[in-house]
Amino acid sequence: MIPILKMTIIIWVCLFSSGLGNIDLPAVENLTPDQILKYLGALGRNAGTKTELAAYDQHFNRTDRNGDGRLSREEYVDKGTYLNPQSRAGIFRASDTDQDGSVSREEYVVNRRITDEAKAIMARVDANGDGRVTRKEFIEYSGSEDEALAITVFEKLDTNRDGVSITPEFLRVWGVWARAAKVSNQVEAIVKQASGASASRAGGRSSGRRRGPPSRIGPGGGVMPDLLSRRGIQAGDNLPNVTIHSDAGMPKKLHELIGNDYTVIVGGCLTCPQFLSRYPSIEAVARDYSPKGVRFYYLYRALAHPENNGYVEPFDLDERLMHIAEAKGKLKTRVPWIADNMDNELKAAMGNINNPAFLLRSGGEIVYLQSWSDGEGLRKELAEILGPVDPPTLAANLGLPEVSGRTRAGRPVLPRVEVPDLMVPLLIVPGKGSDPFYVKLRAEAEPSVIESGSGKIYLGFHVDPIHDVHWNNLVAPMKFMIETSDGTEVTPSKESAAKVAVDADTDPREFLVSIVGANPENPFKLTVDYFACSDEEGWCRKIVQEYTVQLKRDPFGGGVMGRSFLPGRGFGGGRPSGGYPGGRPERGGFRGGPPGSAGGGPPDPTVLFERFDRNEDGIVTESETPEFLWNRISSADKNKDGLVSLDELKTYRSSGQGRGTVPSGNQRRRPEADPQD
């Protein structure tokens, strides 16, 4: 199996080591390459936001050491710093489409855009995040109502006819289609503009390290992933007139909420590290521009990372409103909150990502948007529209509380369950009853369960802190029972939690069951009974509740560190090994809980750079890495320039350092790299 973290190297080598120029263009009925890309929701060479194209341009300039507007093999492969010589050679071959031994600016930009978009499309179609697109996934998620057409396109992508298109296959065919499409005016424009300035750069370029280009996506000059543009959301679009709710629960249409005023909506919740670290800057902008008529709202949506800071997903609107009340009190916000409806329609319309910011006007028209909320960028945009505020309010002067972006529980009363792979959150439907779901089910599955109906399922029963209850351990432990149909086998189909020594606690009760022969279209029924107590209300009683568990991925399920953390995009806490998202552990499985807990091993530095060095400058920054990972590797920054090079990390690791857990204490907080990348 091929480790997913090593996929990038193999992608480039497979694209051109066999000579892409010799591949015949696949003919899909009578469709042109442009029509095929449009069918797949892509633009090929005709795509690329200004931010992305500018980033590619700066990456080229950084490598073009003599400033002649071309990359020689010596510059890129021999003296390059990105990954290793083998992978650089593969990228060089992929970019040098005219095979003249050098890479022009246009060749570089076009190749980057084609490949980046292909990866984004494949991630969208890859429903279970396992790095493989099955025929069923492609038909279901490609967005076409014409199943025969979807099958025809898929068969061209599945070059070995095994019913699955893996990344090298996908990109190999994609490259042919994309290069046969029309040349982008945007690419031509940036190449023309950059070429005119290249001569002046040749003699005056700084030899020191540089961060990526200024970005409207993230602070500090680092390029954050532009998730919204990858999802086709851009300025000039209109958000749908969905129903949202005030913090008191009153329903209202979105366009009515906006009215004729400029309105800022920032996505957030109690479990999103990006939001928790960034909301003070939004508060500061709101203090300055609310008097100028701009409306500001935080939108509470499905949780970004359930179990972070102890919070679990609300099951109904009343519970979501309780979360808002908790957030208002804990964060001391003055910006008002609104709640998404329980179908998460506004979150979906805003890209289904964790912490975007949208500037809107009448009719829901998008004036400006950020994949990651950034008060500084928002302030600049509002200053252009309404004029600057002098002096501006500073977030540091607002006296807002310090809030941890992520916390971990202390020593559990029961061992955390070990899962064999990163898990996919499943759709669950709570049954009706008179009691609130004081304890809530979290169900996750191996990707194989969704694809074929067999594999492991994680069942976690989590006490909801919003209801302020605890387990009553003086009586029989909680137990569950599963009922299936159509010959589906679940082992065990019923089980009780272990008895614990303490009288009361709030730790989760976790189980791992095996399912065999299930029809992914057929759900199963789960019944749980437990004893709970509320000290505040003065009661203890037995509670019986039911769930319907569907063997389908929950698109709003979020990600739990170390277990279901954005399938296919992160380290789950074990040593990456095998072709699984995040890596399958060599022994013992991934341990529940965040990376850095027992069982977690550091990834190889080269593999780590391959995964996180997004702008190919041979360094990783705080803005390019997840928080837990930056906490681990930032000590390798010996010259204290805020950057970690591959050589620094290798030296740090070879000295035996950097192999422990995440340091305790109050760590620096920063936005994650792609959590629902």
> 397, 432, 464: which is the final residue of a domain?
397
**Residue 490: closest CA among 463, 461, 527:** 527
In angstroms, the CA 3 to CA 9 distance is: 11
Would residue 436 count as lying in a domain? yes
Nearest 5°: phi and psi at 208?
-80, 170
Measured CA angle at 567 (ends 224, 6), to 5 deg? 75
**Confidence label for 343 from pLDDT (cuts 50, 70 and 90):** very high
Contact 357, 369 (CB under 8 A): yes
Same domain, 196 and 96: yes
Summarize the confidence of residues 17-43 as an average pLDDT: 53
Measured distance between the N- and C-terminal CA atoms of the chain, rounded to whole angstroms: 22
Percent of the chain with pLDDT over 90: 38
In a domain, 413, yes or no: no
Tell me the mean pLDDT in the region 180-200. Answer: 44
Question: Does 519 share its domain with 549?
Answer: yes
- pLDDT at site 500: 92
How many C-beta atoms surround the C-beta of residue 611 within 10 A?
24
pLDDT in tens, 449-468: 887 889 999 999 999 999 99
Kindly report the CATH number assigned to the domain that includes residue 531.
2.60.40
State residue 285's pLDDT score. 98
CATH number of the domain enclosing 638: 1.10.238
Residue 558 covered by a domain: no
> Is the model more confident about 68 or about 148?
68
Q: How many CA atoms lie within 13 A of 650 on its CB side?
A: 10
What CATH number does the domain containing 348 carry? 3.40.30.10
CB 210: neighbour CB atoms within 10 A?
Answer: 16
Greater confidence (185 vs 166) lies with 166
Residue 199 CB-half CA count within 13 A: 2
Is the pLDDT confidence value at 672 over 70? no
Question: How far is Cα 70 from Cα 93, in angstroms, rounded to an integer?
Answer: 14
Neighbour tally for 74: CB within 10 Å: 12
Please give the residue that has the higher pLDDT: either 112 or 506.
506
pLDDT of residue 550: 95
Residue 458 sits in the same domain as residue 590: no
- Residue 452 or residue 4, greater confidence: 452
For residue 212, pLDDT over 60 is answered with: no
Residue 137's pLDDT is what?
Answer: 79
Same domain, yes or no, for 500 and 618?
A: no
Cα 677 from Cα 667, distance rounded (Å): 24
Answer yes or no: do 112 and 248 share one domain.
no
Q: Is residue 408 part of a domain?
A: no
Considering only CA atoms, give the Rg of the chain. 26
Give the Cα-Cα-Cα angle 671, 296, 214 (nearest 5 degrees). 40
- Compute the half-sphere exposure of residue 345: CA atoms within 13 Å on the CB side of its CA: 12
Q: Is residue 210 part of a domain?
A: no
* 221 domain residue, yes or no: no
Q: What burial letters (b/e) apply to 139-158, b meaning 16+ CB within 10 Å?
A: beebebeeeebbeebbbbbb
Reported as type and span, the H/E element at residue 344 is none
Whether residues 385 and 442 fall in one domain = no
Per the model's pLDDT, the better-predicted residue between 672 and 157 turns out to be 157
Sign of CA dihedral 30, 32, 37, 38: negative
SS3 94: helix
Same domain? For 266 and 380 the reply is yes
How many folded domains does the chain comprise? 4
CA distance 190 to 605: 34
Taking Cα atoms as reference points, which of 227, 375, 308 lies closest to residue 673?
227
Q: The tokens of 197 are what?
A: 């300035």
Percent of the chain with pLDDT over 70: 68
**Domain-ending residue, one of 363, 397, 431:** 397
Residue at a domain's end among 503, 520, 553: 553
Residue 3 has pLDDT above 70, yes or no: no
Burial 75-91 (b: 16+ CB within 10 A, else e): bbbeebbbbeeebbbbb
> What is the biggest distance separating any 2 CA atoms in the chain, rounded to whole angstroms?
80
> How many C-beta neighbours within 10 Å does residue 469 have?
24
Q: What is the pLDDT of residue 30?
A: 58
Pairing outcome for strands 263-268 and 295-300: parallel
On whether residue 486 sits in a domain, the answer given is yes
CA distances from 192 to 161, 195, 276 (A): 42, 5, 42
pLDDT at 388: 95
Q: 357 and 247 share a domain?
A: yes
More confident of the two residues 396 and 168: 396
Q: What angle do CA 87, 92, 98 make, to 5 degrees?
A: 150
Same domain (yes/no): 251, 376: yes
Residues 250 and 280 in one domain: yes
- Residue 643 predicted with pLDDT over 60: yes
Structural domain boundaries, residue 85: 4-204
This prediction has a pTM of 0.57
| Closest-CA residue to 240 (of 222, 256, 229, 226) | 256
Peptide bond into 492 cis (omega under 30): yes
Same domain, 517 and 393: no
Helix 105-125, helix 85-95: angle, nearest 10: 100
Residues 6+ apart with CB under 8 A from 346: 239, 242, 244, 254, 299, 301, 340
Of 112-126, 353-367, 610-624, least confident by mean pLDDT is 610-624
SS3 of 563-621: CCCCCCCCCCCCCCCCCCCCCCCCCCCEECCCCCCCCCCCCCHHHHHHHHCCCCCCEEE
Query: Which residues share a beta bridge with 619?
Result: 645
Residue 151, CA distances (Å) to 44, 137, 155, 171 in order: 21, 11, 6, 18
pLDDT at residue 133, as a whole number: 82
State the burial class of residue 539 (Cβ atoms within 10 Å of its Cβ: 0-12, 13-18, 19+): exposed
Q: DSSP 3-state helix, strand, coil percentages of the chain (rounded to 5)?
A: 35, 20, 45
User: Which range (112-116, 152-156, 604-608) has the least confidence?
Assistant: 604-608
Check whether residue 381 and residue 424 sit in a common domain. Answer: no
Task: Please state, rounded to an integer, the average pLDDT across all residues of the chain.
Answer: 75
